[in-house]
Amino acid sequence: MSSVTTVVLAGVGGQGTILAGDVLAKVAMAEGYDVRLSEVHGMAQRGGSVITFVRFGEEVQSPVVDPGTADHLIAFEMIEAARRLPLLKREGRLVVNQRIVLPLPVLVGAAQVPDGLEAALAEEGAIFVDAEALACEAGSSKSANVVLLGAASAGLPLSQETWAEVIASRVPPATVEANLKAFELGRAACLKGACR
Give the pairing type, strands 5-12 and 49-57.
Answer: antiparallel
Decide if residue 41 touches other proteins (CB under 8 A).
yes
Q: Which range in 88-96, 153-161, 168-176, 179-187 contacts other proteins by CB under 8 A?
A: 88-96
Q: Distance of alpha carbon 41 from its chain centroid, rounded?
A: 17
Cβ 107 to other proteins shortest distance, Å: 4
3-state secondary structure of 158: coil
Residue with smaller CB distance to other proteins, 124 or 177: 124
Q: Which of 3, 58, 86, 157 binds other proteins (CB under 8 A)?
A: 86
Specify the long-range contacts of residues 91-94, CB closer than 8 Å, at least 24 apart. 93/125, 93/127, 93/152, 93/155, 94/121, 94/124, 94/125, 94/126, 94/127
- The two most distant CA atoms of the chain are separated, in Å, by 49
Q: Specify whether the CB–CB gap between 54 and 70 falls below 8 A.
A: no
* Residue 151, amino acid: A
Q: Which of 25, 75, 96, 154 binds other proteins (CB under 8 A)?
A: 25
Q: Which range in 81-89, 150-158, 167-175, 184-192 contacts other proteins by CB under 8 A?
A: 81-89
Q: Which of 31, 57, 62, 177 binds other proteins (CB under 8 A)?
A: 62
Q: Specify whether the CB–CB gap between 70 and 89 falls below 8 A.
A: yes
Distance, in Å, from the CA atom of 60 to the CA atom of 36, rounded to the nearest integer, reads 7
Q: Which of 71, 76, 96, 103 binds other proteins (CB under 8 A)?
A: 103
User: Where in 129-158 is the site for other proteins (CB under 8 A)?
Assistant: 132, 135, 141-142, 144
| Footprint of other proteins (CB under 8 A) | 1, 12-14, 22, 25-26, 29, 34-49, 60-64, 66-69, 79-80, 82-83, 85-90, 102-114, 116-117, 120, 124, 132, 135, 141-142, 144
